[in-house]
Amino acid sequence: MKLPSVNQIAIPLILGLGIPLLLGYPLGGQDPFTTVVFFIIFLGIPLASIYFGLKNIIILTLVNLALGAVLCISSYSFGYRPDLCSQIGGMLGYAYLFVMLIVSFIALFRFWEKHGLFSIIPFVILLLCFKANAISLKMGHDKRSEVFAELLPQYEEAVRVMESKTSGGVVFLKGEEVPEIYRHLAYWIHAKKDDENVLVVTFFWGGGFPLKHTAFAYRSDGQLPPKGTDFRREWPFTERINENWFRVGD
């Protein structure tokens, strides 16, 4: 059975991926420069790698290695401090990964006659990416815990400062309102005393899409409230760090 040519494989993939973006993105009101950069980074490079990867096993292998490296960096960054860039980078990277899995599987048959078992290398690299990304994500989490432990005295100092400000009710500091000496601890700081006079100070550490936050929360009573309470509704994901501190996310 004769295998389809590179053009017969790549052109439908390129059209299938490219046309929706080509039609949809400019209609979103983006300026011409942003649109050009968008297509070069998120469309031109992936589609070029598909086309030339199906022609040359070395190019395909290098592309998959580069994709794996970028995903590992994104996963580590997201594990350490979630933000919009690392989240979107990871989402686009995984979409690209699944496309390249299909391309690498097709290439395995195209290159088999010439390269034999070496043809499976690009496909195996991408399979290993899943495990490598899980490890990178855990390394990011471990680094975050390490940094928190190092900065704990500063967090506790900030708690005392915020406690002195809660006499008038809820205090919510955002951006430039956060004292400069504490901006490396959080981009927002929220402090209040609940109905039982428990001081809760939340240090917003990471963010994401849509409207996702991760934070370090201090509770003066050291208790994790039961499900259904305001604290747990606001922060459905909670993990105890030590006696008074929790890692939380919405």
The structure tokens listed for 127 are: 């399979």
**Closest to 220 in 3D by CA, of 198, 204, 203:** 198
The structure tokens listed for 99 are: 């496309």
DSSP assignment letter at 35 = H
CB atoms within 10 A of CB 20: 10
Residues of the chain with pLDDT under 70: 1-48, 51, 168, 210-211
pLDDT, residue 152, reads 94
Helix (H, G, I), strand (E, B) or coil at 215: strand
User: CA 135 to CA 93: how far, in whole Å?
Assistant: 16
**Closest to 154 in 3D by CA, of 121, 196, 203, 92:** 203
pLDDT, residue 99, reads 85
pLDDT, residue 28, reads 47
Helix (H, G, I), strand (E, B) or coil at 224: coil
Angle among Cα 140, 143, 144 to the nearest 5 degrees reads: 85
Which pLDDT tens digit goes with each residue over 41-73?
666 666 667 767 778 888 888 888 888 888 888
User: CA 24 to CA 3: how far, in whole Å?
Assistant: 33
User: CA 123 to CA 103: how far, in whole Å?
Assistant: 9
Determine the straight-line distance between the first and last CA of the chain, rounded to whole angstroms: 54
Indicate if the alpha-carbon torsion angle 17, 19, 22, 23 is positive or negative.
Answer: negative
pLDDT, residue 4, reads 52
Which pLDDT tens digit goes with each residue over 170-185?
888 888 888 888 889 9
